[in-house]
Structure 1
């Protein structure tokens, strides 16, 4: 640059580096997505109100009437609930359901834990997981018919094998001793694979370095399962047990296809008893009262189960 060169002073009006700090500038507004959220939630809320909330309120109302499908309902107050307390068939159905729930949840949970542990520690084959899911995809009515034919005392494949082995034949669905354990075994076969996949997904969340550290300390598979896997699997296990409990209390289709509540009412579970009262005896009001009591019982059992298992807390946190 030459000595005679002069530099013009900067124009204060055209200073591009200056930030406009005018107090009249409005701050940028945060985008409000609540309207869009309600728009997407509206179909689900309408479906819930139409198919869940409204039938629930109507069922509670019918439980206070003598509705019989043949005449308009007449309000009777708590008469159905007073009759329910002294109904031996209701208490027997509740006892039978409890027996089924104990058999089904116990066997299903143990087998699911065993299969999930094998997949987690030995193999992670996608083909194996797909095969485990196949029984769950088959409709319950089809499952019931399939096993009823296979376990038939005269033509069943299983009884042919037992007879060939010299063990004789057994009426699995017609014996008062074997009917309920057989129904529980059929549903265990149908749902164990799905439950095992849920538990397997939970096991994948356990950090692998915990198993590596325990292995270096000399811990065996059983010790790692009881000290690492089970404690860290508690939230998923609680979910599985709650879902299994509710599903077990709702057992109906397998009973309706195979035993129809027999023999001598040993498989007349609470859902089948509600069905008989409503659509066989046309005691719709009394059936609604039994359904309301069942919903309350399930709510209490679920709350107790969630509290005992501390389902909201995880040791991984």
Structure 2
């Protein structure tokens, strides 16, 4: 019997067997997810996070690899701001990026649309992707031989046609456009297949409705295909831009930064500073600045292109 005004202590409610099983299942699912994520997390920490933090530290030091690093503060960044070779390398890299992204994106978009509208053959897709599977060094060596001013097959053909020989890799005017063309040829199929995957996500009903309304192919392309591809194009542009800023091996094999610094891109300048002049602290400072530039450009690209939004939703 309970007196008026008295309180009854709360009774603990035991979870039902079903609730307990659900909680156990969620716990096991979380453990399984962490187990699958662990290799990727370890790889990210070992090959990206730690090297990034190490580079940030080295950018504040004077280090020649043979002696312990000496902290010098922001002296490397002050040197960098006053270094004409750095600004030349940045300008050369920007020129290459504009040429490479422009040609590669436009050609890849056209090729992807042709693949989507005319054929779905796996064999043709494999042929399109074939140049991407060839190592960059091999591609550079092949084009170095083909474009040689005196012995190259390309110049032999141009002379036979009456055009005359062109110093593709030995001219300040032609060197960067030639290197951009070489890498456009190599990465064109890979970029086209990324865009092709985005085209497959566009419903066929949209194209059928446009055809019924009498829209031309050009109008369908500009009013339907390109707007609906915006998220995919944003991804492609970001990947292409980052890859273009990382150009090194083609330059190292063909021109080695010449003629007259016309092809000394940022990565090749970093290589020279670090492994030719043993100025690792200054090279790390250049890498840090490049990382900031890439992060800023990527952020602006994604915001301007509204990459997180889709007109299909």
> TM-score normalised by the shorter chain: which range applies?
over 0.9
Partner of residue 82 from structure 1, selected from 78, 81, 93? 78
Partner of residue 271 from structure 1, selected from 267, 271, 279? 267
Partner of residue 289 from structure 1, selected from 285, 289, 311? 285
- 157-166 vs 288-297, which moves further: 157-166
Partner of residue 126 from structure 1, selected from 122, 126, 143? 122
Return the TM-score normalized by structure 2.
Answer: 0.92
Q: How far did residue 215 of structure 1 move?
A: 1.1
1:15-47 CA distance string (max 9 Å, x none):
xxxxxxxx9783322102112222222222222
1:242 aligns with 2:238: yes
- The 3-state SS of whatever aligns with 2:163 is coil
- 292-301 vs 123-132, which moves further: 123-132
Match of 2:219 in 1: 223
Q: How far did residue 62 of structure 1 move?
A: 0.5
Match of 1:26 in 2: 16
Match of 2:140 in 1: 144
Correspondence 1:207-222 to 2 at 5 A: 207-222=203-218
- The 3-state SS of whatever aligns with 1:251 is coil
Alpha-carbon distance in structure 2 between the residues aligned to 1:86 and 1:134: 44
Gaps of 5+ in 2: 1-12
Correspondence 1:72-111 to 2 at 5 A: 72-111=68-107
Alpha-carbon distance in structure 1 between the residues aligned to 2:15 and 2:35: 33
Gaps of 5+ in 1: 1-22
- 227-236 vs 147-156, which moves further: 147-156
1:55 aligns with 2:45: no
Match of 2:5 in 1: none
Partner of residue 175 from structure 1, selected from 171, 177, 182? 171
Q: Which runs of 4+ in 1 moved over 4 A?
A: none
- The 3-state SS of whatever aligns with 1:201 is helix
Alpha-carbon distance in structure 2 between the residues aligned to 1:160 and 1:151: 9
Match of 2:8 in 1: none
Alpha-carbon distance in structure 1 between the residues aligned to 2:209 and 2:258: 54
Match of 2:4 in 1: none
Q: How far did residue 128 of structure 1 move?
A: 1.2
Alpha-carbon distance in structure 1 between the residues aligned to 2:36 and 2:143: 43
1:37 aligns with 2:27: no
Return the TM-score normalized by structure 1.
Answer: 0.91
Q: How far did residue 137 of structure 1 move?
A: 0.4
Whichever structure has more helix as a proportion of its residues is 2
1:260 aligns with 2:227: no
- The 3-state SS of whatever aligns with 1:200 is helix
1:87-138 CA distance string (max 9 Å, x none):
1111110010000000000000010011011111122222111101000000
Match of 1:20 in 2: none
Alpha-carbon distance in structure 2 between the residues aligned to 1:69 and 1:24: 64
Alpha-carbon distance in structure 2 between the residues aligned to 1:218 and 1:262: 54
Q: How far did residue 168 of structure 1 move?
A: 1.7
Root-mean-square deviation (CA, aligned residues, Å) is 1.2
